[in-house]
Amino acid sequence: MISVNEARERILLHFQPAAIESLALIACANRVLAVDITAAHDLPLFDNSAMDGFAVCVEDTYASGTTLRHAEPRSVSNRQATTLNVVADIPAGSAPTVILAKGETARIMTGAQLPAGANAVIPVEDTDFNNREAGTPAPKTISFAKIVKMGDNVRRRGMDIQAGAVILNKGRTLKPQDLGLLAMLGIGNVQVYKKARVALLSSGDELLDVDAPLESGKIRDSNSYVLAALIESAGAEVLRLGVARDTRESVEALLQKAIHEDADLILSSAGVSVGSFDFIKTVIESKGRLDFWRVNMRPGKPLAFGEYLDKPVIGLPGNPVSAFVGFEIFVRSALARLSGKLDESRPTIKVRSEKEIESDGRESYLRAKIREENGVRIASLTTSHQGSGNLLSLVQADALLIIPAGVKCVPAGQEVEAYLL
Amino acid sequence: MISVNEARERILLHFQPAAIESLALIACANRVLAVDITAAHDLPLFDNSAMDGFAVCVEDTYASGTTLRHAEPRSVSNRQATTLNVVADIPAGSAPTVILAKGETARIMTGAQLPAGANAVIPVEDTDFNNREAGTPAPKTISFAKIVKMGDNVRRRGMDIQAGAVILNKGRTLKPQDLGLLAMLGIGNVQVYKKARVALLSSGDELLDVDAPLESGKIRDSNSYVLAALIESAGAEVLRLGVARDTRESVEALLQKAIHEDADLILSSAGVSVGSFDFIKTVIESKGRLDFWRVNMRPGKPLAFGEYLDKPVIGLPGNPVSAFVGFEIFVRSALARLSGKLDESRPTIKVRSEKEIESDGRESYLRAKIREENGVRIASLTTSHQGSGNLLSLVQADALLIIPAGVKCVPAGQEVEAYLL
């Protein structure tokens, strides 16, 4: 039986990023960049005001006080008011044409371009111009006592980003703030990887639709709901193929449908164990090959990987917790690679086990609650039992504790790795 | 100027969960439950096999060995094979009609209902029946030496969930595993809260569309992209109203559109500072009231809240980082309450500051990278500067460090709270 790591490596060999598409920026949240993004111009694109106020030339503000003891005054107390003539009014979005001469200022709004001759902005709050009503005309003169230093309240061209800088890397999953940066740089269409398409089927004569009346011996198909939501949470598209009955023909028909839809991955649940009614393995082998069908893990040992007519097929176990864990450990990585994501592995955190945990020597993924005490994350198994059919344990859990292969006992207080759910 | 907490509390007073709708289970991922969910029946619904194997009565397995020294044997070594007649074949999904008599067994598949008379299952691997091909008929007899205990490999009715138990609480955001539990319980339509609808506008004559050619003094509208993606990430729907020009009429027209669309919240960016061209405040006050328009925080001081024709309006600052932070601190909580979420506050984590951090006494939200060393999370400010217009600092950041109001200096190594981004 192969290890979890070997199984993951063997699976990943079969996946490459999907094709690239150009997408309107508005639709790019959570999509994966297919190219490095380089700034075509500086940001800010021009010197601009960081405040609503008045654009001034700092040298001008030294002169108009009467008796200044120093060339550059050090305190407000030995300083008198500077008075300047307001010669222009610069709203944000306008292109200032004025050139400030000695003794002159211009009213300027936040974000507006600094006029020639100015090298600082004095905020409106620090002047004698107290009328702040929307639409008020600019005053004729302003006075202020506050010391102004070169560059005060000015955002200089290129101070955030310089033209030519790589600002977002290929393989990054785009966050809201990234979209803003792309907008600032005028990138209205973005090269992203196409979404991976996953054909999803369940299998088993025992499965009923969620709306069907119960029948003796049957259960409702839950995996298709869980797995479809997981596929979408991984940024991929799901093609719901439905439930294959326990016949060779039914399984074959659904796999053919997946081929016809040209899915990037065929994902099934159930039908890969040693049960006599498990036809998935034999159907795959009839038109492809099975690479492995058991992994040394718990839950999730009967996990199959192969190819059917050259399409990768991952066969997850039928038990709901096993199917979920198999998805998180193998399918999520495969979808990350298919989606071109830079970071394919799911991050783990370190936690401390509250109590002793027994394991059976397989790499185990146990459902746990995490709490933080004095900066230490403490994990305790869910109150609901760890059976692979018990979905409630997953619903209660914050994390999957990873007990490595070969370990039969984790002492209380020991550090353990965990995937946050 | 009011504190961040007071501002948040004043805002939240105006929001209540939206109406409830009944939604097909398939569409419920990430939606918020509007009712407690009670299990209508036990899970599992019937005693069933946890393995592919043979259903047996444990008492039967004691008898057929020859010389057993104890009533219940302790080791395989002093034990001989048990042989039983296979009288039935029970695939998953069938309703077994057989009643096992002494010396009898039934082949049974994983998940299949246990027949009457059986109280344990012996896995196929532990028997002499080695033919595991799909579709193979069951054997006439099986033999095995392994000790079987009462209940081995049997999942008993109700062992996961008992009828009447509350399994998911009102206000929970539904995860993939939750959908599985709902499916198992036959809940094909779920009562969830309607998505909150947010009318979004930017304002300012300086704003260009992302695709428009640059003009001197103008910048591209980035906030509408960032805020739309944030709204959707919070599980709400965005109604894009576009950009209001710097006239009273333009602002009024967009607010009227939001009223016409019956949005749950009107969200604007820019236009709430003291600039003479800021009409949003005056328009709001003309048909409603402004509760506050400044908050003691950095970035994001010019943040307004009020009502326009009885609709709540949050006016975010125009600087991209300020708008983002304002969203995370105020709008996300408001949307959580509108969406009926149980947990409205965003979780924070504790980190240690790598270097000394200066602050200006306002409650500050600084962009930082987080790394983990020996189980300690260490935060360092982004290399890109902390200016409120510098979106690159957010793109680089993993978290917002929260420096409390009144603090002017955080020493190196001190614990600080942070929101993960």
Pick B233's closest partner by Cβ from A160, A176, A278: A176
Distance from CA of B173 to the nearest CA of A (A): 11
Distances (CA, A) of B362 to B31, B294, B344, B400, B413: 36, 12, 24, 15, 21
Q: Do B135 and A29 touch (CB under 8 A)?
A: no
Chain A residues whose beta carbon lies within 8 Å of the beta carbon of residue B276? 52, 91, 107, 109, 132-136, 138
Pick B186's closest partner by Cβ from A93, A220, A227: A220
Distance from CA of A355 to the nearest CA of B (A): 19
How do B357-358 and B409-410 pair as beta strands? Answer: antiparallel
- Per DSSP, the residues of A104-136 read EEEEE-TTPBPPBT--EEEEGGGSS-----TTP
Distance from CA of B52 to the nearest CA of A (A): 5
Q: Do A134 and B248 touch (CB under 8 A)?
A: yes
Share of chain B above pLDDT 90, in %: 81
Pick B29's closest partner by Cβ from A167, A229, A278: A229
Q: Do A160 and B29 touch (CB under 8 A)?
A: no
Tokens 């104890």 correspond to what residue? B70
User: For residue A156, how far is the Cα from the chain centroid?
Assistant: 31
Best probe of the B interface among A210, A218, A290, by most B CBs < 10 A, is A210
How do B399-403 and B349-353 pair as beta strands? Answer: unpaired
Chain B residues whose beta carbon lies within 8 Å of the beta carbon of residue A46? 216-217
Is residue A27 classed as helix, strand or coil in its secondary structure?
helix
- Please answer whether residues A3 and A325 qualify as being in contact, where contact means their C-beta atoms are separated by less than 8 angstroms: no
d(CA B307, CA A293): 61
Flag whether pLDDT at B73 surpasses 50: no
Q: Do B350 and A135 touch (CB under 8 A)?
A: no
Q: Do A133 and B276 touch (CB under 8 A)?
A: yes
d(CA A377, CA B349): 11
Distances (CA, A) of A123 to A56, A84, B79: 11, 14, 93
Q: Which residue of A has its CA nearest to B48?
A: A217
Q: Which residue of A has its CA nearest to B324?
A: A177
Chain B residues whose beta carbon lies within 8 Å of the beta carbon of residue A33? none
pLDDT of residue A63: 52
Q: Do A220 and B179 touch (CB under 8 A)?
A: no
B132 — pLDDT class (breaks 50, 70, 90): low
B395 — pLDDT class (breaks 50, 70, 90): very high
B281 — pLDDT class (breaks 50, 70, 90): confident
pLDDT tens figures, A193-240: 999 999 999 998 899 999 999 999 999 999 999 999 999 999 999 999
Chain B residues whose beta carbon lies within 8 Å of the beta carbon of residue A278? 134
pLDDT of residue A79: 65
Tokens 């709306």 correspond to what residue? A211
Burial class (CB in 10 A: 0-12, 13-18, 19+), A24: exposed
Is residue A307 classed as helix, strand or coil in its secondary structure?
strand
pLDDT of residue A134: 66
Q: Which residue of B has its CA nearest to A348?
A: B372
What's the token pair of residue A267?
A: 């994902």
Distance from CA of B399 to the nearest CA of A (A): 13
Flag whether pLDDT at B380 surpasses 50: yes
For residues B285-310, average pLDDT: 94
Q: Taking CB atoms and an 8 Å cut-off, how many pairs form between chains A and B?
A: 319
Q: Do B124 and A274 touch (CB under 8 A)?
A: yes
Pick B180's closest partner by Cβ from A134, A222, A281: A222
Q: Where are the alpha helices (DSSP H) in A160-308?
A: 176-184, 223-233, 248-260, 280-286
pLDDT of residue A279: 83
For residues B90-101, average pLDDT: 92
pLDDT of residue A15: 96
Closest residue by Cα to residue B18 from B191, B152, B223 = B191
Q: Do A94 and B26 touch (CB under 8 A)?
A: no
Distance from CA of A16 to the nearest CA of B (A): 26
- Please answer whether residues A347 and A25 qualify as being in contact, where contact means their C-beta atoms are separated by less than 8 angstroms: no
d(CA A156, CA A150): 12
pTM, 2 dp? 0.93
Chain B residues whose beta carbon lies within 8 Å of the beta carbon of residue A159? 385, 387, 390
Flag whether pLDDT at B280 surpasses 90: no
Instruction: Give the other-Cβ count within 10 Å of A81's Cβ.
Output: 14
What's the token pair of residue A304?
A: 């199959």
pLDDT of residue B276: 60
Chain B residues whose beta carbon lies within 8 Å of the beta carbon of residue A379? none
Closest residue by Cα to residue B342 from B168, B188, B181, B195 = B168
Flag whether pLDDT at B379 surpasses 70: yes
- Please answer whether residues B305 and B10 qualify as being in contact, where contact means their C-beta atoms are separated by less than 8 angstroms: yes
SS (H, E, C) chain B: CECHHHHHHHHHCCCCCCCEEEEEHHHCCCCEECCCEECCCCECCCCEECCCEEEECHHHHHHCCCCCCCCCCCCCCCCCCEEEEEEEEECCCCCCCCECCCCEEEEECCCCECCECCCEEEEHHHCCCCCCCCCCCCCCEEEECCCCCCCCCEECCCCCECCCCEEECCCCECCHHHHHHHHHCCCCEEEEECCCEEEEEEECCCEECCCCCCCCCCEECCHHHHHHHHHHHCCCEEEEEEEECCCHHHHHHHHHHHHHCCCCEEEEECCCCCCCCCCHHHHHHHCEEEEECCECEECCCCCEEEEECCEEEEEECCCHHHHHHHHHHHHHHHHHHHCCCCCCCCCCEEEEECCCEECCCCEEEEEEEEEEECCEEEEEECCCCCCCCCHHHHHHCCEEEEECCCCCEECCCCEEEEEEC
Residue type, B403: I
For residues B72-96, average pLDDT: 78
Pick B160's closest partner by Cβ from A229, A324, A392: A392
Evaluate whether ipTM surpasses 0.85: yes
Name residues whose C-beta falls within 8 Å of residue B373's C-beta, 6 or more positions apart in sequence: none
Q: Which residue of B has its CA nearest to A207?
A: B93
d(CA B413, CA B379): 9
Is residue A210 classed as helix, strand or coil in its secondary structure?
coil
Low-confidence ranges of chain A (pLDDT < 70): 63-79, 132, 134, 272-277
Tokens 């690679």 correspond to what residue? A337
d(CA B11, CA B261): 21
Q: Which residue of B has its CA nearest to A94?
A: B217
B66 — pLDDT class (breaks 50, 70, 90): very low
